[in-house]
Homo-oligomer: A and B are copies of this chain.
Amino acid sequence: TENITIGSYLLTRLEQLGVTSMFGLPGDFNLAFLDLVEDHPKIDWVGNCSSNELNAAYAADGYARVKETSLGVITTTFGVGELSAINGIAGSFSEMVPVLHIVGAPSTGQQKNRPLLHHTLGDGRYDAYSKAAQQFVVHESHIVNKANAAADIDTALVECITKARPVYLTLPTDMVYEEISSERLKIPLSSTRAPNDPEKEDFVSNLIHERVKEAGGDVVILVDACVIRHHVRKETLEFLHKTGFPVFATPMGKSAVPEDYNRYGGTYIGNLSHNEVKESVENAKLIISLGLLSSDFNTGNFSYHIPTNRHIELHSDHCKVQFARFEGIAFKYLLPKLADKLQEFQKTALGIKVPSVHYPIPSEGSSTTITHAWFWPRLSTFFQPKDVVVTETGTSNFGIADSTLPEGVILLNQILWGSIGWSVGSALGAALAARDVGLNRTILFVGDGSLQLTVQELSTMIRKGVTPIIFVLNNKGYTIEKFIHGKHRAYNDIADWDLKALLNTFNAKQTHKTASYTVHTKSELDELLGKADFAKADKIQLVEVMMEALDAPPAMLRQWDSKK
């Protein structure tokens, strides 16, 4: 068999896994590896134009979320580069997104002798960065010799994909061009987990069948983040079709099930839910949740009213039936079995009424102001099938609950980690992945405050020729923070930017077509949304949406009212 350099081995594996974009920044410890990346026919180097490493990590995260079953990859340089990215990596850990972080490191000789190199801490510690990284990854591989390189790379990749979480891989400068056998490359990496133990699986599905029977088929399904992260959308939908149970989504589970599915009843957020939704979910005799992630913002501040004895939880690697926990039972394999088993309840299930998710656009009299109450339902008809929608922490994450998303729309948010600025980098990665897999437009909703943290990523979007529609909600500051604390505090204000000038500023030579708009009124926005030229999204477009500083989506108003 032929030999291959370690660097190329890694790239071949990434190519096999469907990676087409790599994010990051160059630095002296990764430049030689970047030669291989730049010369690679299938993998495009994204970054080093204007992004910084944090933005690159966000982009890798967004890419991985859209490109299901593949992964996001970021390459940085020792110390300065990798540490800049660490918040992004921690976010991918928290939100369960498979991101490989490749760090160009000093040569193995330097790591032994530890000279006082730039990018070091000045005290000879060469392991400080990986010790920090360990906190935020499920696995780390250090390529330190030829003998183990291939196996170490393979393990890193399998861990990343099967656990859907970040992995840290250091590649010392002297390892990149070392040659190893390419033999292993003939066997593709397996990215699926082992099947469930059949006996245990039977036991569990019988048990669940019993509970459903006891409940007389009065069951609702609640879908959450892990259905998306662990790629169980298909199994979920088949299960729903066969059983006919009504289904609801949490904020992080929104878009796991097509929202035009006729048994879909909307978003359940505990006390922050629409009344009808709250009643449908909480009055059901049995709630089967899929991939539940019970974080504060995902549960309406822990306001679920679902007693354990009426609750069955199915997860990626275990499940719970009332008080009993069953390790190692993955819902990916359990759901099809269960679908068959519970099919007998379909008729009863179809009799259960499901709330409508078509929230009417409120008529607010003659007021022309764009309110959140109006904005999000209004957007529903603007979305198209297979759009990728990205919402930022802040009012947008709450608002989108009141938009209805057509079939095949992928919604990205970071409700658990909540690092502002994430959505801008993420939208870059998402748009590249969307282009790659033939999805529709990428549509970003970002607050004026959040945008300021990562604004330079717009430049990378322009340079890479992706054409997202970017709605910037200009409400003069950190509105969500104002609701939490400090309504009239200066620390919640922001600098006034000329948002309409941004795209031009980042596009000096006008090499790419861009368009920027400011909308002050409902009719201005209506008009814009109605323009075919705008809606077709063939260039990058930024829409500044003027809003009141203290306006917020209904669910947000309910959350902070409920605290009083």
Contacts and interface: CB of A to CB of B under 8 A. Distances in A.
Interface string A102-128: 000000000000011111111001001
A511 B495 CA distance: 10
A112 to B, nearest CB: 16
A537 interface: no
A294 interface: yes
A104 to B, nearest CB: 11
A84 interface: yes
B456 A115 contact: no
A91 B118 CA distance: 11
A496 interface: yes
Contacts of A120: 94, 295, 416
Given A35-B489, A119-B417, A491-B34, A454 B52 contact: yes
A317 interface: no
A492 B294 CA distance: 44
Contacts of A136: 121, 128, 132
Contact of A418 (B31, B118, B294, B420): B118
Interface stretch (A478-486, A519-527, A549-557): A478-486
Interface stretch (A42-50, A281-289, A361-369, A376-384): A42-50
A419 B80 CA distance: 5
B121 A485 contact: no
A297 B118 contact: yes
Contact of A453 (B52, B115, B295): B52
- Could you tell me the dominant secondary structure of chain A's interface residues? loop
Interface in A426-469: 452-456, 459-460, 462-463
Contacts of A295: 116-118, 120, 122
Interface stretch (A65-73, A140-148, A333-341, A502-510): A502-510
Contacts of A80: 87, 90-91, 417-420
Interface of A: 26-28, 31-32, 34-35, 37-38, 45, 48-52, 54, 79-80, 83-84, 86-87, 90-91, 93-96, 115-122, 125, 128-129, 131-132, 135-136, 293-297, 302, 415-421, 452-456, 459-460, 462-463, 478, 481, 484-486, 489-499, 501-502, 504-509, 511
23 contacts: A26-B481, A31-B484, A31-B486, A34-B486, A35-B489, A45-B490, A49-B495, A54-B84, A80-B91, A83-B87, A96-B122, A116-B293, A116-B296, A117-B296, A118-B295, A118-B415, A119-B418, A121-B136, A122-B416, A496-B507, A496-B511, A497-B505, A498-B504
